[in-house]
Amino acid sequence: MDDLQAVTVRGAVFNGPRQPVSIEELALDPPQRNEVLVRLAAAGVCHSDLHVVDGAWERPAGVVLGHEGAGWVEAIGEGVTRVEPGDLAVLAWTAPCGRCVPCGRDEPWLCANPDGGGHRLSPAVARLHRADGAPVGAYSGVGTFGERQVVAESAAIRVDARTPPEIAALIGCAVATGVGAIRNTARVDAGASVVVVGLGGVGLSAVMGAAMVGAHPITAIDTSPAKLELAVRAGAHRTLLAGEASQATGADHVLECIGLVETVELAVELVRPGGVVTLVGMTPQDQRASFDVYRLVEDGKQIRGSNYGSSVPARDFPQIATEYLGGRLPLDLLVTDRIRLDELDGALDAMRRGDGARRVIVY
Ligand SMILES: [Zn+2]
Ligand SMILES: [Zn+2]
């Protein structure tokens, strides 16, 4: 790849908590061994970006934000075999090494040694630089709020090129997390009753996943009537406003998809004895929830944490894209607004106001 030159890209850089992100021009080096250059086509704006900007999650400054995205492979480094130029790739925010013990158990989200660690390609390697040569990182190794990125081969997952890029982008985080929580973590069976608490991109994806596996009935809970309507289109059989949640007692499965202590505790209340609570939403760091231990043990309830929907990206992303193209997952209803990279700050503000529309940057 010696014939390739560094290119100039614009990216949204995180410069420290509670500061506006800045759109900067950066130099991007060509891909090296086992690396892939991707021209981003679309990137979703997710709460995990907002948590960083607002300081709820501690992350290093000097990093291009964005962890949900898809784009076209433009160039590959030496040794790359899984994608080639022209492929549509969904970017994964964990790039499993494939060699450690958790990877061997098919638990790549627990990889001991992922590429993209430290929000760089590897802790010591960044392909992005400022004009003065200072390295700039990429959030979770993918930094999808940049026009182009160089990512690890294991983070670039080829999917059917007929998948619209906005949909492909969402498969990389919200959809894999929600559908995966149903299928991989909770392992919901056909006919099981499911309650989904919180109807952002992840919660709506969980509703769609539950419908796809034949769960019944599916109850969706949120504070927003507009989101309850979306949940019906996603496949929910019944919807409840948050104040009516106690009507949902007795479900086989309850999935918490917000990341609030009070709804985590609610989920434990709602599930039937012997049922399974799956915690999907991520709270700010250091939050603690409580429950009645005696009752939980007596009732044989289970609580599971679901990171990235327990997904194996190379297996699950192409499958989800195929299910979308086959009409089994109505993912289009997740995309409520298309924006430009310069409009990111406004999108983050709207998220702070609790306006739940899913904004997708289209490059
Ligand atoms: Zn996300
Ligand atoms: Zn690993």
What is the pLDDT at residue 358? 83
Q: Rounded to the nearest whole angstrom, what is the distance from the C-alpha of residue 67 to the centroid of ligand 2? A: 19
Q: Rounded to the nearest whole angstrom, what is the distance from the C-alpha of residue 104 to the centroid of ligand 2? A: 8
Q: Rounded to the nearest whole angstrom, what is the distance from the C-alpha of residue 173 to the centroid of ligand 1? A: 5
- The residue ranking higher by pLDDT, 95 or 178, is 178
Q: Rounded to the nearest whole angstrom, what is the distance from the C-alpha of residue 172 to the centroid of ligand 1? A: 8
Q: Rounded to the nearest whole angstrom, what is the distance from the C-alpha of residue 91 to the centroid of ligand 2? A: 17
> 49: which DSSP letter?
H
| In the chain, % of residues over pLDDT 70 | 99
Question: How high is the mean pLDDT of the chain?
Answer: 94
What is the pLDDT at residue 106? 86
pLDDT of 301 > 90? The answer is yes
Q: Rounded to the nearest whole angstrom, what is the distance from the C-alpha of residue 307 to the centroid of ligand 2? A: 15
- The residue ranking higher by pLDDT, 284 or 166, is 166
CB 97 within 8 A of CB 113: yes
Ligand nearest to the CA of residue 50, numbered in listed order:
1
pLDDT of 351 > 50? The answer is yes
Q: Rounded to the nearest whole angstrom, what is the distance from the C-alpha of residue 95 to the centroid of ligand 2? A: 8
The pLDDT confidence band at residue 125, using thresholds 50, 70 and 90, is confident
Q: Rounded distance, CA 309 to CA 303, Å?
A: 14
For 239-279, what is each residue's pLDDT tens digit? 999 999 999 999 999 999 999 999 999 999 999 999 999 99
Ligand nearest to the CA of residue 139, numbered in listed order:
1
What is the pLDDT at residue 109? 85
Q: Which pair of structure tokens corresponds to residue 145?
A: 């709020």
Give the global pTM.
Answer: 0.94
Q: Which pair of structure tokens corresponds to residue 118?
A: 């430290």
SS3 153: helix
Q: Rounded to the nearest whole angstrom, what is the distance from the C-alpha of residue 122 to the centroid of ligand 2? A: 13
Query: How many separate helices (H) and strands (E) can be counted in the chain?
Result: 10, 18
Q: Rounded to the nearest whole angstrom, what is the distance from the C-alpha of residue 335 to the centroid of ligand 1? A: 14
| In the chain, % of residues over pLDDT 90 | 82
The pLDDT confidence band at residue 1, using thresholds 50, 70 and 90, is very low
What is the pLDDT at residue 356? 65
For 80-120, what is each residue's pLDDT tens digit? 999 999 999 999 998 888 889 999 998 888 888 887 777 88
Q: Rounded distance, CA 167 to CA 322, Å?
A: 12
CA 310 to chain centre: 11
Ligand nearest to the CA of residue 140, numbered in listed order:
1
Q: Rounded to the nearest whole angstrom, what is the distance from the C-alpha of residue 237 to the centroid of ligand 2? A: 39
Q: Rounded to the nearest whole angstrom, what is the distance from the C-alpha of residue 345 to the centroid of ligand 2? A: 34
Q: Rounded to the nearest whole angstrom, what is the distance from the C-alpha of residue 8 to the centroid of ligand 1? A: 26
CA 333 to chain centre: 16
Q: Rounded to the nearest whole angstrom, what is the distance from the C-alpha of residue 47 to the centroid of ligand 1? A: 6
Ligand nearest to the CA of residue 259, numbered in listed order:
1
Nearest to 137 by CA among 145, 127, 146, 147: 127
Q: Rounded to the nearest whole angstrom, what is the distance from the C-alpha of residue 105 to the centroid of ligand 2? A: 10
Q: Rounded to the nearest whole angstrom, what is the distance from the C-alpha of residue 53 to the centroid of ligand 2? A: 28
Ligand nearest to the CA of residue 175, numbered in listed order:
1
pLDDT of 357 > 80? The answer is no
Ligand nearest to the CA of residue 152, numbered in listed order:
2
For 200-228, what is each residue's pLDDT tens digit? 999 999 999 999 999 999 999 999 999 99
Residue type, 361: I
CA 345 to chain centre: 19
